[in-house]
């Protein structure tokens, strides 16, 4: 479903991501891991069509490089960490914005009945239907991220990209967000590519891993084939040892 071949991209002519290739099948959930500055966000920007790239990115066989912005918006949606909202649109209006690339009469026609139906369905699915008429400026961080998730689902993309969307969320919301994305990928047979800093959350979320170091792939493959030793090399610490010590402390508390 998502195929990346020899992807190179960066800023001002200097490559940051260098020669990445991987594929995520329908229903797949890929987590991109690697230390700060290794190029994870830069990769997501290229996959979202926001950054020029060399190599090819194909979604359902179609080349992202050849898509119009409207086509790209129907193919890929990006869910980022919560940022401040400055305009007091209601929850419903915000979710409807996810439909702009689908609106039947073109981008400026306004939402039709089908757009409204999809927006309401996505609000129900993410548990924000009760907040329908509330201004988004009045929501908690957890509620706001659910609204953005509803907007992302309403976009009906083939691929959802996550850029640390669980940052600043309580643990409960983090886990729920990941569960909802997993359910979406399975039910819609579409894929999710995410950067999640929390390795535990990444393990819960992903069935595929891409480990990056300085813009290059160090590992790509299934969760089962993933060798924690590579994680230790790239992060320059004993990641598993750290997790086991944390778990031991929990067990002592219980």
Q: Does residue 52 belong to the site contacting ligand ADP (CB under 6 A)?
A: no
Nearer to ligand ADP, 180 or 198 (CB): 198
Q: Which residues contact 236 (CB under 8 A, 6 or more apart)?
A: 35
Tell me: does residue 41 bind ligand ADP (CB under 6 A): yes
d(CA 45, CA 163): 9
Helix axes 141-154, 171-188, angle to 10 degrees: 10
Residues 5-34 that bind ligand ADP (CB under 6 A): 11, 16, 34
Q: Which residue(s) pair with 30 in the sheet?
A: 193, 208
- Residues 222 and 30: their CA atoms lie apart, in Å, by 9
Q: How far apart are CB 161 and ligand ADP at their closest, in Å? A: 12
How far apart are the C-alpha atoms of 252 and 245, rounded to whole Å?
11
Does residue number 42 form part of the binding site for ligand ADP (CB under 6 A)? yes
Residue 36 touches ligand ADP, criterion: CB under 6 A: yes
165 forms part of the interface with ligand ADP (CB under 6 A)? no
The CA distances from residue 174 to 92, 155, 179, in Å, are 23, 21, 9
User: In terms of CB distance, is 153 or 220 closer to ligand ADP?
Assistant: 220
Region from 40-48, 107-115, 148-156, 181-189 binding ligand ADP, contact rule CB under 6 A: 40-48
**Is 37 one of the binding residues for ligand ADP (CB under 6 A)?**
yes
Query: Do the Cβ atoms of 27 and 189 come closer than 8 Å?
Result: yes
- Residues in contact with 187: Cβ distance below 8 Å, sequence separation at least 6, in sequence order: none
Residue closer to ligand ADP, measured from CB, 41 or 230: 41
CA 61 to chain CA centroid, Å, is: 20
The number of residues that bind ligand ADP (CB under 6 A) is 10
How far apart are CB 180 and ligand ADP at their closest, in Å?
23
Does the protein bind ligand ADP through residue 194 (CB under 6 A)?
no
Contact positions vs ligand ADP (CB under 6 A): 11, 16, 34, 36-42
């Amino acid at each position: 479903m998502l195929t990346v071949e020899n992807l190179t991209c960066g800023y001002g002519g200097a490559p940051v991501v260098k020669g990445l290739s991987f594929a995520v099948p329908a229903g797949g959930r890929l987590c991109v891991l690697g230390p700060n500055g290794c190029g994870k966000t830069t990769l997501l920007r290229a996959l979202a069509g926001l950054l020029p790239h060399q190599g090819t990115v194909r979604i359902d066989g179609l080349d992202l490089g050849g898509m119009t912005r409207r086509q790209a918006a129907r193919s890929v949606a990006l869910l980022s960490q919560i940022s401040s909202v400055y305009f007091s649109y209601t929850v419903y209006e915000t979710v409807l914005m996810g439909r702009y690339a689908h609106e039947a009469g073109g981008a400026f026609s306004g939402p039709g009945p089908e757009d409204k139906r999809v927006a309401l369905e996505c609000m129900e699915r993410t548990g924000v239907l009760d907040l329908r008429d509330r201004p988004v400026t009045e929501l908690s961080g957890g509620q706001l991220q659910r609204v953005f998730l509803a907007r992302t689902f309403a976009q009906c993309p083939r691929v959802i990209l996550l850029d640390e969307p669980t940052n600043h969320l309580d643990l409960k919301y983090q886990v729920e967000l990941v569960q909802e994305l997993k359910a979406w990928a399975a039910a819609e047979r579409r894929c999710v590519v995410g950067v999640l800093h929390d390795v535990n959350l990444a393990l819960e979320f992903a069935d595929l891993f891409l480990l990056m170091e300085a813009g290059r792939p160090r590992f790509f493959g299934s969760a089962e084939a993933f060798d924690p030793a590579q994680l230790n090399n790239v992060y320059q610490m004993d990641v598993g040892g750290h997790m086991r010590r944390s778990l031991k402390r929990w067990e002592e508390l219980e």
